[in-house]
Structure 1
Amino acid sequence: TRAGKRVILLEAKSIAWGASGRNGGFVSNGFAESLDKISAHTGLHAAKALFNLSRFGTEFVRREVAGDTGVKGGDGWIVARRYDGGQKLEIYRERQERIFGDERQFLSTKETRARLNSPRYFQSLYDPSAFHVHPLRYALLISRRAEATGAVLHEQSPALEVTGSSGNWLVRTAAGSVRTAHVVYAVSSLDRRIHALTGRAVLPVATYVAVTESLQQDAIRTESAVSDSRRAGNYFRLVGEDRILWGGAITTRLAAPARLAHRMKSDMLSVFPQLGKPRVEYAWAGLMGYARHKMPLIGGDGQGQWWATAFGGHGLNTTAMAGILLARAIVGGDDEYRRFTPFAPQWVGGPLGRAAVQASYWWMQARDRMDEMKLSRPAKPTKTIFKV
């Protein structure tokens, strides 16, 4: 490979069968957890360093897809509020830029609705550094480039067992085995037994995506990726200029709810009723892996076992970042990956953890509805009382 190491990938299914090929395709700086909460846990200096690493991942993806119009989509990401927050969002934007260097543009309600033709949306923030990609094509592009530099990829080859000790590991599959000095576990929530430490620390969370037929529409007037700022919101973007990819909803089991396409279309029409009756041509579910602290699990045991998992629905930039960090650690002994030490694997509670997450999601939905009702309601006129 580029670094002179022999690399073998054991893929349980096919390349990008899991979240790598099923996600919404949003590429942006940061993590699933907010910068404020990261800073509260690690301190400001460490949080800034982590944010800069996430930026490095974003730029890696940007370079890899540059010039490939079949993979690279539109630029920018709009995060819109569904209630009128006045200037609060601009105050928040200024603070994030001043403290973390997170540069975004404030869009007024008028500016937001010029891009998103819906009375549901008010103020928004625009991230010019973000973009979106076709995630499956991106993963296949990366795999082809890895093979071109000497990596060996084995699909339909799940690892069944890893045995051995420091610097001498044996990875067994049904068709053979691999002896290696280093093993990297990057299985998210799809295999929770092969590496016990991270397996018990990753909670599978399902989300859902639908893609419409080709439309002649005037609802979405931007090539940027879009999401709303609710705790349990939607995300969407144009695909090929005339289709809409719409995502949202969370469950803790990968069993697509009945009438998934109908549910996703109903969500879409609640925001953009002018779309009429669009046909949903594709709908699918995908599993995300979350740690309790909503940060990636990136680390090593000092014996040649490494892990990179639990990217929590924010994986396109952070998986690239994690791969580079671990490659540098394995090849050159770089210890930058240790910046993730404060976010160690923690047990997620098994079945009770799943139930708690589902209940939390329903509670977030209820709070979102209450916020919209309260904050979107016109203010009552005040009465002036004159005393004589």
Structure 2
Amino acid sequence: MIGADHSGDTWYEATVSRYSARTFLRGQREAEVCVIGGGLAGLTTALELARSGVSVLLLEARRLAWGASGRNGGFVSNGFACSIDSVERRLGLDAARSLYGLSRLGTDYVRAEIAVTDPGIRMGDGWLGCLRYADPVGKQASVAKMASDYGQEVQYLDVAATRQRVATRRYFQSGLDPTAFHVHPLRYALMLAAKAEAAGAQLCEGSPALTVKRDGAGYSVRTPGGEARVRHVVYCVSSLDRRLHRPTGRAVLPVATYVAVTEPLTQDVIRTRSAVSDSRRAGNYFRLVDDCRLLWGGAITTRVSEPRQLAERMKADMVSVFPELGNPRIDFAWAGLMGYARHFMPLIGTDGEGQWWATAFGGHGMNTTAMAGVLLARAIASRDDEYRRFSAYGPRWAGGPFGRAAVQSGYWYMQLKDRLDERRSHASREQESSG
């Protein structure tokens, strides 16, 4: 099950050395801030608060970064799960530029924290976004718009240049983002934890928050072993706990994706050390990692149980794009549970009474969790109000089981559109060659 503790079943867990488990909350403690959730958003918030001299206690129900924060694809790039075009249509160009700038702040934060502490966490540079159908005019227009409107450098690559990097007939034109990079996300999360503790934050594992109740001018947060009395509470639980803070819990939909890692390969079809993804709505994303293994991700579903024969399903997807890989052994396969809001933008905000939230990063969380942690820490420590730029994307009821059904139907519809786009592209090429 995705909701279970999968300690040790991912390639990431197999390639880190965790310190001994941190203590659980016992007895009564006091702090200025309690951060609930030990993923990337919570760890960044705790680190930045501690750096600002604010006393902070972080509660993690299981182990730090055991959820999506330590199980994701590891891509770090500007932007959000929601396309910037959609943001621009809703808010206008100026507001979209401001939000995109904040997403860049998150990317720069991850890059800088890694560079000064553990450069080995960074595993490669660049992100290649490939089209599954021919559209040179559309791709060039998109690249030009990102440069002119958002100052985002992207290199346009034609079919030949794309296939020099990823040798498959499934891909056509592409855009190479040289400002993106990819990382070992679990090592990064554990690095943040060590820095937060060094700065004075208290991190507790095995300490699920059971209740949060008003207590005078602050709040009482109870766990099975103790109680924290604090002035502020920051909820960073994504889709893993939707009962604790009802306004955000009912606004988040759990969505699963899957990742596999092969045995070490000798191959000549993936010729880039950049991260790669394709243009399908629920497309593939992949990269070469240590020992020339291929990390392959894909599929999106609202089903929260891990499918049977996951490794074989991921392998079939992999070789459908790169048949020259043959029959690679899958050494690791796992699921990860993401949190999405209906508008596909992160939920970052406050009720104005000491409760704050940073959640629903929607599968684009490496940069946006960093951004959210910085924004909320600044808001609490120095009353900075930059986080208010996300006020247009507040918590909205996601529809419960009806919302999950609608999302799943939407993904099936998008996958059908993907197949139709690819068939039309194939038919057009056939007509050109016969003419």
Q: What's the TM-score, normalizing by structure 2?
A: 0.86
Offset, 1:125: 0.3
Q: Which residue of the partner structure matches residue 359 of structure 1?
A: 409
Contact 1:57/1:320 (8 A) holds in 2: yes
Read off the aligned partner of 1:253 and give its amino acid letter: R
Which of 64, 73, 77 is the matching residue for 1:28?
A: 77
> C-alpha separation between the residues in 1 aligned to 2:296 and 2:229?
44
> C-alpha separation between the residues in 1 aligned to 2:67 and 2:105?
24
- SS of residue in 1 equivalent to 2:53: coil
Alignment of 1:315-330 (within 5 A): 315-330=365-380
Q: Which residue of the partner structure matches residue 136 of structure 1?
A: 186
Q: Which residue of the partner structure matches residue 137 of structure 2?
A: 87
* Correspondence 1:380 to 2:431: yes
* Correspondence 1:60 to 2:109: yes
Offset, 1:70: 3.5
- SS of residue in 1 equivalent to 2:238: coil
Contact 1:167/1:303 (8 A) holds in 2: no
- SS of residue in 2 equivalent to 1:380: helix
Q: Which residue of the partner structure matches residue 239 of structure 1?
A: 289
* Correspondence 1:41 to 2:90: yes
Alignment of 1:148-297 (within 5 A): 148-164=198-214, 167-297=217-347
Spell out, residue by residue over 1:188-211, the C-alpha distance to the aligned partner (whole angstroms, 9 max, x if none): 000000000000000000000000
Spell out, residue by residue over 1:168-224, the C-alpha distance to the aligned partner (whole angstroms, 9 max, x if none): 100000000000001000000000000000000000000000000001111111110
Contact 1:308/1:322 (8 A) holds in 2: yes
Which of 98, 104, 108 is the matching residue for 2:158?
A: 108
- SS of residue in 1 equivalent to 2:136: coil
> C-alpha separation between the residues in 1 aligned to 2:213 and 2:132?
52
Q: Residues 60 and 383 (structure 1 numbering): CA distance in 2 closer, same or farther, change over 3 Å?
A: closer
Gaps of 5+ in 2: 1-49
Read off the aligned partner of 1:46 and give its amino acid letter: A
Which of 196, 206, 210 is the matching residue for 1:146?
A: 196
> C-alpha separation between the residues in 2 aligned to 1:82 and 1:55?
27
- SS of residue in 2 equivalent to 1:70: helix
Q: Greater share of helix residues, 1 or 2? A: 2
Identity among equivalent positions (%) equals 61
**Aligned-CA RMSD value:** 1.5
Read off the aligned partner of 2:233 and give its amino acid letter: V
Offset, 1:286: 0.5
Q: Residues 383 and 195 (structure 1 numbering): CA distance in 2 closer, same or farther, change over 3 Å?
A: closer
Contact 1:226/1:236 (8 A) holds in 2: yes
> C-alpha separation between the residues in 2 aligned to 1:273 and 1:340?
44
Read off the aligned partner of 2:206 and give its amino acid letter: Q
Offset, 1:346: 0.4
Q: Which residue of the partner structure matches residue 18 of structure 1?
A: 67
Q: Residues 241 and 75 (structure 1 numbering): CA distance in 2 closer, same or farther, change over 3 Å?
A: farther
Q: Residues 172 and 277 (structure 1 numbering): CA distance in 2 closer, same or farther, change over 3 Å?
A: same
Gaps of 5+ in 1: none
Q: Residues 92 and 160 (structure 1 numbering): CA distance in 2 closer, same or farther, change over 3 Å?
A: same
- SS of residue in 2 equivalent to 1:230: coil
Moved more, 69-78 or 25-34: 69-78
